[in-house]
Structure 1
Amino acid sequence: MNANVPLMQTPSRAPVSAVVPCYRCTDTVGDAVASIAAQTLPPAEVLLVDDCSGDGTLETLHSLARAYPAGWIKVVALPVNSGPSRARNAGWEQATQEYVAFLDSDDSWAPRKLELQVKALLADPQIALISHRIRVRSRGLEPESLRKPIRTTIVGRRRLLLNNPFSTPSVVLRRDLPFRFNEKFRLVEDYLLWAQIAHSGYRCAKINQVLAYLHKPAFGAGGLSGDLDAMHRAGREVGNELQRMGLVSARERMFTRSVGKIRRARRHLVLWLRRLQSGDQLSP
């Protein structure tokens, strides 16, 4: 990236393409797009990618595009259902801005997300990926207040050996990075991409503020993330893939396997407690 090129193209827009993969999300995508439009520094464009939903989703996306300023929302329709990796890559391919941000169709952004991330990128143009904290909570609540001081911390590659510090709706990255989501993975595909970026020597950062919200638990709540064991199997495959690429050493891979086993046991315990609290019937 040329540091001499002005980051901001206009005073009212961020040089960001917001990519939203969409699959049978007629009930939630409107709120997701509204949270993008409510940014204090809105992105220059929004790409809504329909992953061949086969219901009324595509019509809903075109309706949303008409409800906002002409040309701001672009609808991309995939011919076959291929999963979130392909949908995000398709949006990334058509993005025109210097940076790409990701938001799932059932999540939302806090209003100052892009403002703070662009400010951090201006302060350190060498950052290739920047994220922030996220919160799991119900819909319809007011955004949390910022907690000062606002800090941006560099995240080293070794941090990613422990777990995934970058939730997908928190990430803004450079459009010109020579990586993409691996379309062979339908689970943990985001972690594989972030790890490729960090382990390849690119500068990654994280802001210490909650600037996005997940409206269902990160695991054990249905959908692709609902199968906890499948997620951990995918995590092992990601670790093996990083080792095959030469980005993680054999010793580091042994360490990540050990951490993964501990994390799996902890998540099963959390899921068991969640079901107990909700009154679900537990098997012996």
Structure 2
Amino acid sequence: MVELAPLRTPRRVTAPPVATAPVTVVIPCFRCADTIADAVASVAAQTLPPRQVVLVDDASGDDTVSMLHALAAMYRPGWIEVVELPHNQGPSRARNAGWERAREEYVAFLDSDDSWAATKIELQMRALREDPSIALIAHPTPILERGAPRPPAPRSARTRIIGRRRMLFNNPFPTPSVMLRRDLPFRFDEKFRRVEDFLLWGQIAFSGYRCAKLDADLGYVHKPSFGAGGLSGDLKAMHVAGREVRRELLRQGFVSLPEHCVARTIGSMRKVRHRLLLAWRRATQGA
């Protein structure tokens, strides 16, 4: 009699795990139902996607919250967390609230009306692996008209360390470009509703933490940085807030009095330049 070989239980075939980055993306949201889907889509399209996304509604009072929950349902369960703040307190509080919910090693910030190139997280994580001492890393974020064709996503980027002297002149780190260590001992100052990001970056850099910037355009701002509507469009208020930030850094002992004087002089020169540029823009648009 021929003995039959015992039947073997077929092994379960599983798909290889998708590589992800130890990054939490924090997006403050205020009346952004028309733009937030595009912002989140640019996060989902990353070649190295983040492990967590936190959408923080800053008491919008419209249909924004419904949109955020609808977006969370569109993606895999648990990837997007929606936080609803009871009172409107500005972007500093919203970003801090998202930061508090972060579970990953790094936190990246994106605004609800901006977007990222597909390789943003991949290239920033590559730079962080090559130099783990970097605590904050950013990149340029050029203005791109909403709906306009995007350039091909960069495949490589060079890393440049940003020193103390560079930080004195102006803010080299656009908020939608910043990725930083979750465990840093600073947070956004909630008393500031303008240039609050510059104060935080200054506290980090002037405390001796290593900060860097890639030379590739890995994100896009879909509105002019000044001279337009919204908080960033109030040019006068931006310069007043910048002056307050420099005073606050001096008061907290992060910069010396001579450094403060140099920064104040440069700030005044930039104010004149911005006024001239804004006047030219208005003249050309009215022509």
| TM-score, normalised relative to structure 1 | 0.93
The residue that corresponds to 1:230 in the other structure is 237
Match of 2:46 among 39, 48, 62: 39
Q: 8 Å contact 2:26–2:55 — kept in the other structure?
A: yes
Change beyond 3 A, Cα 1:23–1:107: same
The residue that corresponds to 2:283 in the other structure is 276
Q: CA deviation at 1:145?
A: 3.3
The residue that corresponds to 1:67 in the other structure is 74
The residue that corresponds to 1:266 in the other structure is 273
Aligned to 1:177, the other structure's residue is in SS state: coil
CA distance in 1 between counterparts of 2:129 and 2:55 reads 27
Q: 8 Å contact 2:26–2:98 — kept in the other structure?
A: yes
Match of 1:118 among 106, 112, 125: 125
Q: Would you say 1:27 and 2:34 are equivalent positions?
A: yes
Aligned to 1:209, the other structure's residue is in SS state: coil
Deviations 1:51-97 (A, max 9, x none): 00000000100000001111100000001000000000000000000
The residue that corresponds to 2:203 in the other structure is 196
Identity value in percent: 62
The residue that corresponds to 1:7 in the other structure is none
CA distance in 1 between counterparts of 2:207 and 2:149 reads 38
The residue that corresponds to 1:240 in the other structure is 247
Q: 1:119-268 maps to which residues of 2 (within 5 A)? A: 119-145=126-152, 150-268=157-275
Match of 2:57 among 50, 56, 71: 50
Q: 8 Å contact 2:119–2:153 — kept in the other structure?
A: no
Larger Rg: 2
Q: CA deviation at 1:150?
A: 2.4
Q: CA deviation at 1:158?
A: 1.4
After the TM superposition, which parts of structure 1 deviate over 4 Å for at least 4 consecutive aligned residues? Answer: 146-149
Number of corresponding residues: 271
Match of 1:95 among 96, 102, 124: 102
Residue type of the partner of 1:36?
V
Aligned to 2:271, the other structure's residue is in SS state: helix
Change beyond 3 A, Cα 1:148–1:35: closer
CA distance in 1 between counterparts of 2:283 and 2:216 reads 31
Aligned to 1:89, the other structure's residue is in SS state: helix
CA distance in 2 between counterparts of 1:137 and 1:147 reads 16
